[in-house]
Amino acid sequence: MKHIFVYIFMITLVVFMVILINKNQNTIQPKLLSVNTYYSYLDEIGEDCYIDFYLNTKDHPMVDVNSYQNLKLHNQEYSKSIELELNNVIFLHQETYLNETYYKYSYVFNMPLLGYDFDIESSYLEISLVNEDLYDIFIGSISFKTIDEDESFINWTALSGRKEDNQYLSRLYEIDIEYNELLDDIKQISVGNLFNVSFEVYDEIIKITIPYKNELFYACPIFITFDDNQINTINYFVYMKDYETLKQSGQLIYHYALN
């Protein structure tokens, strides 16, 4: 009889250990990934701005817009900062990175409408949740540009962008603007305030070449300044969508453990 109780105890112990092991294997440590990215926006009424991030779970407060108390952009020294008004958190797609599934989300913010140019070359997003969790994640660089008067000197018909040949990083190398009519000579072109671009005009195409920098860059507005200093803007446009961004980004990825 005593042996029977011993066997029952051992079987019960083994079953308990198996259940405990399976439970631990199914418990996911929440993680957030951000990727060093150049964000550029036209600070204009009615427009949104976006900042991307990745989670290894869909079951976390950060996917719910009502979980947020405050979000603030700032530089490392906190000498420059602005608060952003969160409008939505949207799911984009999922990727595999280091044998783990990650879900890409994008914060959708109302444009801050500063009335002046605002740039942070090394920018952090401070995230305060209603449950009192606080995170500070590196996002890359960000530029908000304000244009007082937007003239129409160019009747453009198509936009396209591409990476540099043999490059996999989700980064624009060239943007083509096809047009029917150009009413003045172009003096300068910008895709934000943080670096200069070059351009050439031929066969009713404006070709913009973007210098390499070790950060993602896949969407932007375009600011075209003409010889009389009038400015024509082409609003924010997403020129490329990659679905293996994490796989190609390597050291541009920043890792954060979540509660």
Round to whole Å and give the CA distance between 154 and 174: 19
Round to whole Å and give the CA distance between 252 and 248: 9
Are both 72 and 135 inside the same structural domain? yes
Query: pLDDT of 100-159, one tens digit each?
Result: 999 999 999 999 999 999 999 999 999 999 999 999 999 999 999 998 777 777 889 999
pLDDT computed for residue 14 by the predictor: 47
pLDDT computed for residue 15 by the predictor: 47
pLDDT computed for residue 17 by the predictor: 52
Domain with 176 in it: 154-238
pLDDT computed for residue 24 by the predictor: 43
Mean pLDDT by 10 residues, the chain (259 residues): 53 50 61 98 93 96 96 97 97 96 98 94 97 97 88 88 92 96 91 90 95 94 92 93 94 96
| Structural domains of the chain, count | 2
Burial per residue of 113-128, b for 16 or more beta-carbon CB atoms within 10 angstroms, e otherwise: eeeeebbbeebbbbbe
pLDDT computed for residue 13 by the predictor: 54
Asked, for residue 95, whether it belongs to a domain, the answer is: yes
Residues with Cβ < 8 Å from 130, sequence gap 6 or more? 61, 66, 67, 68, 69
Asked, for residue 70, whether it belongs to a domain, the answer is: yes
CATH of the domain at 253: 2.60.40
Are both 69 and 126 inside the same structural domain? yes
Q: What is the pTM of this model?
A: 0.86
